[in-house]
Chains A and B, each alone.
Chain A
Amino acid sequence: MKTRDVKTIVFLAALLFAWTGSAHAQAPDSCDLPAYLLFSDSELKRVAQAVQDNKRLDIAVLGTASSALAGPDGGSSAYPARLQAALSRRLPGVMVNVVSLAKSRRTTADMAGELKKLLAEIKPALVLWQTGTFDAIRGVDPAQFRETLEDGVADLQAGGADVVLINMQYSPRTESMIHIAAYADSMRAVARERDVPLFDRLALMRYWNDVGAFDFYAAGKDRGLAVKVHDCLGRALAALIFDAAKLEKPDGQAGQ
């Protein structure tokens, strides 16, 4: 046997080992996602500027109950805090500060009333706007929803912030009761119209459900699932922001 063949066999064996190893690493709670689910055409230029010029990134999360978790450690386990942790890991030397303004039972119109104050007080380079669920529960007119959201995003952009929209959670137990399709479509349309990335939480969670990463049918009080999912969401958001702002790790390595 030639050395080359031996090398090939060793290489293949190593590959196989790596593959089974990574299959093991993809235990049921893995939050791996295919790249297309985090793909965006829209660029986050202000985020890039803040990171490169100021070495400081202020992010505001505007949202409702699904952007928060109840309990004493709710603040540190919800996805805004997880995002801060994940971005800080990816951007050593940059001061990342994520402020969560999540409050339950607010429609998009309610939140749109707070944009000026938010811009003035936090001066964020990026606003993550999570919405849609409560509007769907209240049955807000989808056309009006879309208009409010579009105007709000325009105001944020005019106020000097980049925007990422975050849509609904995938919730199989309530999906026959909450008509979210029209609102999800509206959010996609607004994202395209205003040229901002959409963090498609609905599709991500559906993907995790389909590959068996999480059991979203679970009804019980167990907080473990919620904590894990928020951690995954925070990391996925960090990946999306990192890519959409075309940031690179200081050592030139891409990815996690």
Chain B
Amino acid sequence: MTTERDLRLDLFRGIALWLIFLDHIPSNIVAWLTIRNYGFSDATEIFIFISGYTAAFVYGRAMRERGFVIAGARVYKRAWQIYIAHVFLFTIYLAQIAYVARGFQNPLYAEEMGILDFLQQPDVTIVEALLLKFKPANMDVLPLYIVLLLLFPPLLWLLLRWPTTALAASAIIYAAAWEFGWNFPAYPSGYWFFNPFAWQLLFVFGAWCALGGAERLGGLLRSRITLSLAVAYLLFGFFVTMTWYFPRLEYLFMPKWLSDQMYPISKTNLDVLRFAHFLALAAVTVYFVPRTWSGLTSPLLRPAILCGQHSLEIFCIGVFLSFAAHFAKVEFAGGTVMQIVVSVVGIALMIAAAWLIAWYKRVEGRKATARPQAARADLAGGET
């Protein structure tokens, strides 16, 4: 197994973070660039897969070197950090919604103002949010991540011993979630937007790849047959998504039996079509972008890599910035120019923040020579 950090992971996670940010800005013309418009899967799949990969990479090493308890404690510390980050974002959300509630009296939107009812019972709302049951729009990814990390130590233990058994177990849980309708309850009703029982498959698959699975798949990934299948599937996905925007196409070309089979494509339960679409994207990417690709060290891709290396911070900043972008659109102007401005400025701010965090870690890392072990772990992706 290689011990060098694979820069491709940082690159694509950084890009995924940008895409998530763009998709989170409502009615954003720039979001037409994001991959969710051209196939079944979107940036969330990339983010969760790479997070699983890096988590296994970092904590797998810790578990081998320092044992189950220490590695488990580190995972839980990470989960706690993410929980704090989630609560921080929730606070900002509450402030935003309270601000909107104060000024919003348009009689046309009497019904939509119902979203502000949560403010009538702040005690219930806040407790439900702390229990991760009440999750405002666009704040569903971190709770999923927390649950995945909480279950990760025993899973990692299994992955290190019998990787394929662990992957099979994960697939069984996924199938069972579909069969029996397992999901976590949400407040005030319904279930988690990202069903952890389903989405764990992608996380575990990422971890499995990190722990030698990618090498086992090497032959398959280099084969031209895999490549052509993947490309064919991506084209199929592209065609199907086009029928969503041009209903005429669907009317003309989409056989009814096929749409009966396909729809609905569940994001909540990570539909097989979505999972397969992600696999196809990954296969094509790995085929054309080898680990040693020279572009990975070019200054052009440096901003994306930087963002990918500090994913938790940049993810949170992205959620915050998408709130801010919506605020700017509402308060000043919502037109196309504004949409482009907030998108570009937002990504620039994400890059600047990543650069600042990297700079700080470098400066601090120099002083902390007394703990080379810890510093090394950080370099190898303490960011999971």
Contact = CB atoms under 8 A, between A and B. Distances in A.
Interface of A: 41, 64-66, 69-71, 104-105, 133-134, 137-144, 146, 169, 171-179, 182, 185-186, 189, 192, 206, 209, 216-223, 225-226, 229
Nearest to B187: A139
Nearest to B246: A36
A139 B189 contact: yes
B228 interface: no
Interface stretch (B75-83, B105-113, B366-374): B105-113
B190 interface: yes
A185 B264 contact: yes
Given A139-B188, A219-B103, A189 B264 contact: yes
Interface string B1-42: 000000000000000000000001111000000000000000
Nearest to B133: A139
A136 to B, nearest CB: 9
A134 B111 contact: yes
14 contacts: A66-B109, A66-B110, A70-B107, A138-B188, A142-B268, A144-B190, A146-B264, A173-B106, A175-B326, A176-B24, A179-B193, A206-B27, A218-B106, A229-B108
B86 interface: no
A218 B334 CA distance: 11
Contact of A175 (B27, B104, B191, B259): B27
B26 A175 contact: yes
Q: Which 7 A-B pairs have the closest CB atoms?
A: A65-B111, A226-B108, A175-B26, A139-B190, A176-B326, A66-B111, A179-B137
A177 B115 contact: yes
Interface string B94-132: 000100100111111111111101000000000000000
Given A70-B110, A219-B103, A174 B115 contact: yes
A178 B116 CA distance: 10
B222 to A, nearest CB: 38
Nearest to B250: A192
B329 interface: yes
Given A182-B267, A219-B104, A134 B114 contact: yes
Contacts of B326: 175-176
A222 B106 contact: yes
Given A174-B100, A176-B26, A223 B107 contact: yes
A104 B189 contact: no
A141 B115 CA distance: 17
A144 B181 CA distance: 11
B243 to A, nearest CB: 11
A100 to B, nearest CB: 14
B246 to A, nearest CB: 10
Contacts, number: 122
B264 A177 contact: no
A186 B264 contact: yes
A220 to B, nearest CB: 6
Interface centre among B24, B25, B190, B264 (most CB of A within 10 A): B190
Contacts of A186: 264
Interface centre among A141, A186, A216, A225 (most CB of B within 10 A): A141
A134 B184 CA distance: 21
A174 B189 contact: no
Nearest to B100: A173
A138 B27 CA distance: 22
Given A134-B114, A169-B108, A178-B112, A143 B264 contact: yes
A227 to B, nearest CB: 9
Given A185-B264, A219-B105, A177 B114 contact: no
B26 A217 contact: no
B136 interface: yes
Interface string B249-264: 0010000000100011
B241 interface: no
Contacts of B111: 64-66, 104, 133-134, 169
Contacts of A206: 27
A140 B109 contact: no
B188 to A, nearest CB: 6
Given A175-B26, A189-B263, A221-B107, A138 B189 contact: yes
Contact of A172 (B190, B267, B334): B334
Contact of B27 (A141, A172, A178, A182): A172
A176 B322 contact: yes
Given A179-B193, A220-B105, A221-B106, A172 B329 contact: yes
Contacts of A182: 267-268
B226 interface: no
A108 to B, nearest CB: 12
A229 B109 CA distance: 11
Interface in B180-234: 186-191, 193
Interface centre among B100, B104, B108, B268 (most CB of A within 10 A): B108
A70 B106 CA distance: 11
